[in-house]
Amino acid sequence: MELTRRNFFKFMGAATASAAALPSPAGAWESKAPPDPYGCLVDITRCVGCRKCEEACSKVNDLPEPERPNCQCTIFEKKRRPDHNAFTVINRYFTGRLDEFDKPLPTFTKVQCMHCQDPACVSACIVGALTKDETGSVRYDVTKCIGCRYCMVACPFEIPAYEYDNPITPRVMKCTFCYDIISKQGGVPGCAAICPTETITFGRRSDLLNVAKMRLKENPGKYIDHVYGEKEAGGTSWLYISSVPFEQVNLPVLADTPSPRLAETIQHSLFSYLWSPIALFGALGAIMFKANNHGDKPTDKSGGGK
């Protein structure tokens, strides 16, 4: 190891100059949400559990036929989750609501990717294989993916699924928001187009928020006074309104903070333009220079010591 005065200052000079040439570290965290995304409003009170949306989804996305597609009864006995064969599923919940004969009333809830405004998965993805599109769709580019599954860890809705049985080329599988369809004029996602009870309304997210709030206002007492997805995790493109508390139908209670904000703020304030590593390098270099230029000389030449 040779650390001469000349070597040291030459190297440090170059490092400092490159750091100084760059603008100052980035400021506060800013949302990267698209300005006017599409969305879907799901009115849980309208859903009858016909599962036509599951069928349409499978067709549009070239997935296997849904499990027992015509069954509207025993299929609901176990709670299902979207997986690598199904981007959306309907679940049935008994939340304690009763009909006029005191029989428990079911509540059906559709579940799929929420297409967050500032998605955790997009921020987490090591290679940027997941992106938030102008349309609002969170898209997956398999050609970049390495299969680390950090997106699955990050997602607060537990949506991305994995092809665990594929040994070489597994994919992350999740709702595409029918990107190819909605990016064309007049296109409507498969599930929203087929829904016979108009549970799913497709449109601009801003318009849907107005529609949702109007329904809450015009039907006092019918709905919980909350549009799920307006603010959850910083807002989602898919919105839900319901007559039963959302956590009872597996829509998790989430803070309004956009998921990526804390991690991105820490990362960017520490590592913008690599200022802190460069500063640390300089400080350690100065210490090393001072410590090794008087007193005992190092006896070793390797990084490993004597």
Q: Which stretch binds other proteins (CB under 8 A): 46-54, 123-131, 205-213, 220-228?
A: 123-131
**Can residue 99 be called a binding residue for other proteins (CB under 8 A)?**
no
Pick the binder of other proteins from 14, 22, 71, 153 (CB under 8 A).
153
Residue type at 271 in one-letter notation: F
Q: Tell me if 232 sits within 8 A of 247, measured CB to CB.
A: no
Q: Which stretch binds other proteins (CB under 8 A): 47-55, 65-73, 184-192, 265-273?
A: 265-273
Pick the binder of other proteins from 45, 106, 139, 163 (CB under 8 A).
163
Closer by beta carbon to other proteins, 122 or else 138? 122
Pick the binder of other proteins from 46, 97, 139, 149 (CB under 8 A).
149
Closer by beta carbon to other proteins, 22 or else 255? 255
**Can residue 275 be called a binding residue for other proteins (CB under 8 A)?**
no
Closer by beta carbon to other proteins, 220 or else 303? 303
Task: Please state the separation of Cα 13 from the chain's center in Å.
Answer: 42
The two beta strands, 130-132 and 200-204, are: unpaired
Closer by beta carbon to other proteins, 156 or else 187? 156
Residue type at 141 in one-letter notation: D
The two beta strands, 238-241 and 38-43, are: parallel
**Can residue 93 be called a binding residue for other proteins (CB under 8 A)?**
no
Strands (E), 99-249: 104-111, 130-132, 138-140, 161-162, 172-173, 200-204, 238-241
Task: Please state the separation of Cα 219 from the chain's center in Å.
Answer: 32
Q: How far apart are CA 242 and CA 240, in angstroms?
A: 7
**Can residue 273 be called a binding residue for other proteins (CB under 8 A)?**
no
Residues 216-255 that bind other proteins (CB under 8 A): 250, 252, 254-255
> Whose CA is closest to 109, among 225, 246, 277?
246
Shortest Å, Cβ 238 to other proteins:
15
Shortest Å, Cβ 251 to other proteins:
9
CA angle 167/169/175 to nearest 5° reads 115
